[in-house]
Amino acid sequence: MGILMVFYFMLQLPWLIPAADSDCNEMCGTVAIPFPFGIKTGCYISSWFRVTCNKTANGPKPFISSINLELLGKFRPYDKLIAVENPVTYLNCGNKGSNGTTSASSVNLTGSPFFFSSRYNRFGSVGCGNLVFVSRDIRTDRVVGSCLQRRCGDPTSKSGGCHDELIKENLTSYTVSMIGVTNPRRIQRCTSAFMFDSSMLKSSDLDPRFPYDISIDTTKVPATLEWNPIKCDFKAELCQEVKGAENQGYPPPQLKSPTLPLPYKDSCIERCGNFDITFPFGIKDGCYMNHAFRVTCNQTVKGLRPFISSVNLQLLEISFSKRTAVINNPITYSGCLDEDRETNVAVKLNLTGTPFLFSDVFNRFVSFGCGCATFLSNSTDDSPDGYCLQPRCGNNVTSEMSCSSGIPSGLSSFAVTVTPIYPSNGSNRSCGSAFVVDERYIDSVEKMIPYHNVTKNRSLLHVPTTLQWGTQKRGLCELREGSDIFCRSDGEYCWTSLGQTHLCVCTSDPYVDSNDVCQESGKCRDLKYKHCYMLCLNTTPGNNCSSSCPVGYEYIKDMCRPISPRIVTKEPKSSHILPIIVGCSTSIGTIFVLLSTWYFYKLLAKRNKIKLKQKYFKKNGGLLLQQRLSNNEEGNVEKIKLFSSKELEKATDYYNENRVLGRGGQGIVYKGMLTDGSIVAIKRCKLVGGNVFDETKLQQFINEVMICSQINHRNVVKLLGCCLETQVPLLVYEFVPNGTLYHLIHEPNEDFPLTWEMRLRIAIEIANALSYLHSAASVSIYHRDIKSSNILLDDKYRAKVSDFGTSRSVALEQTHLTTRVQGTFGYLDPEYFRSSKFTEKSDVYSFGVVLVELLTGQKPISSSQSEEVVRSLVNYFLLSMKDNFLLDLVDTLVMNDGPKEEIIAVAKLSKRCLNLNGKKRPTMKQVALELEWIRSSKEAIAIRQSLDEHSDTDGMIEASDIASCSTSGSILNDSVTLSLDA
């Protein structure tokens, strides 16, 4: 068994492992977009099938761009079917739509491959008192669908509307028209009409004629579109033809021939002419069920013919098994000429009070003619129960069969009325007729209907119509000994009376819907007619055949059962249990195999996922990072948390573009929320060429983790952890909400101005952070990329230094680093640019540039639109110091808000930081102390005297030109980080 399970698993495995995700697995909101539709180019077969994902009040929704219809989540691409939201058309609704009785739909699919499917759509309408119909154009084309609304004031009309059971053709556009029928006061009422998906019709609706959730206020309804085949104009692999599956039919079981009949207890073989009169009809007393089934044999011009006495209609056929009788039904004529005058022959037929009903199974309401609507109504009420729309009259007016419709169930009487619906055709007139006819005779009737207006010798005055006189129902009954039993002459079935309204009919055919009265073994062994059912006769209008039972029976569990049961049901034999055991065992075994296969598949997928994460961990420098953290003397490993990829995907909503905080040279920063509710910033490293991770970026990533793991300062962004099991490594920082210092300076907010006090405080916080990195940290750290865009501001606008990708840690005995030149123009130390030796004084120079930015509010590198010359802020600042026009360069907000003495003191400190000779620059610790002194000192004059004023300004201007000369003649963005080889 185990070997078979393994072999079965191996066979099923290729089908269970899913294919790799395609780039065309697209979603819009909660709706998946399947081929041949698509959003991205190459994912749809043609421009007609392009989908756009539009924002709506209910979230993102997909729309077919070419026809501007919303797609619903119901797709059947193999059958070329799609569900859309179809706008409704309004008539007589004021500002909702047309104020007339004709209006074109707002949807026009002409020229596109799409069309409204006649197989899956219905034409519906909401309103009352009107006949509403649809056509391509009522002026030129025929009616293809229609429905009759209920009478206004009818309580049932409030529950819904009406719909047509069949649309005659596919439509690309349509026009809706209506005429008043049962609106006695001719009040113009608001009516809506539309095409809708037939699957909306549910048997559970309050009104089975109409979906319960569509009202006059509904503006859009689901409808089904089909499309014609169209050539692919995109990728060849997406151009496979979609073929629909073929339904397989199964032949019905063949019936067995009946056995020999039982002998008659009473013989009632009667004839009228050459017509046999069978039960329940009869001529003589005792041969018919009751007086309603009494037949008289009358003499006619064609000889003796049988007539049903109770309704005075000629009897053409009797079927006991179908509970029907075919009679000759009179025809109604309208607009016909008889001896040069127009004659209308209207017929009303009333079977009320008899057991006969017009069969809705065999009969149809048929109309011949053109240009009119014919209505079928109960003769006691003028409210129509059915209708039929004739085609438009042409030049050659004929009376060929034009339309037909079903009739309602339970119809016992009817009358026919005719109403013109098309514009007048001048002299073109049509002789029309309407009648209820058995659909099996429609072809022969059509050949006998007279053509054109020549109707003098109307030979066809009657058509065959089927009456239903009984209803088969489930019931436990049998042919009991001692009762009167009658049998058909050919022995097909026998029956016995159970009362005035019920018969028990038994047959030898096991395929008839019946009950076996011989369920117990050994009982009625020789009984031929053991498959029995009850037959209910419609003797009175109030008799409910669905739930009524004869005397001695009661209605239990959807059938009539004897109060004192004569039929005993025995429990199945033990031999019947064996197939059940075998079936259950097979099912359990199959389920076990499927569960085992599923388990092994999930286990294999889990192992592959673990291996992939291990591969990414190793590729992303996880081993190298572990080695460097383990060799760290300070033991900072505990400060770094390793996050799972799943946790960070959930935190960033799968790296949604709406979560992007910024993009830099090393990666993209996303805003995320962890499971504990804390807000974080997640830095995702960039890929080279879309799918390759740059080794240089990897080294910078590991360096940033190492540097940040050694820092613990309130003015430095805190590293919370990282994730190495994804394709690109991720860093998780504390979230700093108020952006960068660069944006605060150069994109000022009038509601929140950057005051001198804030600028001085931010400068002190940056200086303290750099002083900590240079001298107070466990290992000295050179930042190497100090600039205003790398200074973040928290919720209280406190400065936090960030982006340590290019930073380096330095041993105590080291005084400088010799590296490839890296930095940002405008902030780059000229001494470092010339020598490739980076010292702590290089960070001091960059900080001096940030101080000048805070003083002036200007960018380090700027250009004039009129001249292609790049200007260095440092050069301009030093020149202003030399020529004594510093205050003209200072930001207006600073001049209006800050003390002049403090501004000059900070400017002189900036000048010292920008000294070309790094040895003459102060350390960051000195800078921090002097800034604190400036903020706390009360005597600005003493501060000014204490500062060193002896510096060579001219030499600094000349030397600083080296760092910016290469940019002459071009405009550079000051926020771009460049890397130059020394």
Q: If DSSP codes are grouped into helix, strand and coil, which group holds residue 893?
A: helix
Give residues with Cβ within 8 angstroms of 847, minimum separation 6.
766, 767, 770, 786, 913, 924, 927
223: its two tokens: 């409808």
| Torsion sign (Cα): 624, 625, 630, 633 | positive
DSSP 492-552: SEEEEE-SSSEEEEEES-TTSS-EES--STTTTTT-S--EEEEEEE--STT--TTT---TT
**148 burial type by CB count under 10 A (0-12 exposed, 13-18 middle, 19+ buried):** buried
- Please check whether residue 700 is in contact with residue 715, taking contact to mean a CB–CB distance below 8 angstroms: no
Phi, psi of 180, rounded to the nearest 5 degrees: -75, 135
Strand residue runs (E) in 628-725? 641-642, 660-663, 667-673, 679-685, 719-723
Gap between the Cα atoms of 94 and 190, Å rounded: 8
Beta-carbon count within 10 A of 41 CB: 10
Q: If DSSP codes are grouped into helix, strand and coil, which group holds residue 53?
A: strand
Q: How many residues does the chain have?
A: 982
Neighbouring-strand partners of residue 63: 52, 70
694 counts as catalytic: no
Neighbouring-strand partners of residue 433: 333, 368
Gap between the Cα atoms of 855 and 853, Å rounded: 5
Catalytic residue selected from 197, 438, 785, 974: 785
Gap between the Cα atoms of 811 and 308, Å rounded: 121
- Per DSSP, 935 falls in state H
457: its two tokens: 């010798």
- Please check whether residue 829 is in contact with residue 860, taking contact to mean a CB–CB distance below 8 angstroms: no
Give the ranges where 809-891 is alpha helix by DSSP (H).
830-835, 840-856, 873-883, 886-889
Where is 332: in which H helix or E strand? Answer: strand 332-337
Beta-carbon count within 10 A of 615 CB: 12
Q: How many Å is the maximal CA-CA distance in the chain?
A: 145
- According to DSSP, the β-strands at 175-180 and 81-87 are unpaired
How far is CA 880 from each of CA 304, 708, 737, 858, 903, rounded to the nearest angstrom?
Answer: 132, 39, 36, 14, 14
Gap between the Cα atoms of 317 and 319, Å rounded: 7
**932 burial type by CB count under 10 A (0-12 exposed, 13-18 middle, 19+ buried):** middle
Q: Is 219 left (phi over 0), alpha (psi -120 to 50) or beta?
A: alpha
Q: If DSSP codes are grouped into helix, strand and coil, which group holds residue 815?
A: coil
**Taking the mean position of all CA atoms in its chain, how far away is CA 833?**
60
Half-sphere exposure of 240 (CA within 13 A, CB side): 8
- Please check whether residue 399 is in contact with residue 430, taking contact to mean a CB–CB distance below 8 angstroms: yes
Where is 707: in which H helix or E strand? Answer: helix 695-709
Catalytic center residues: 785
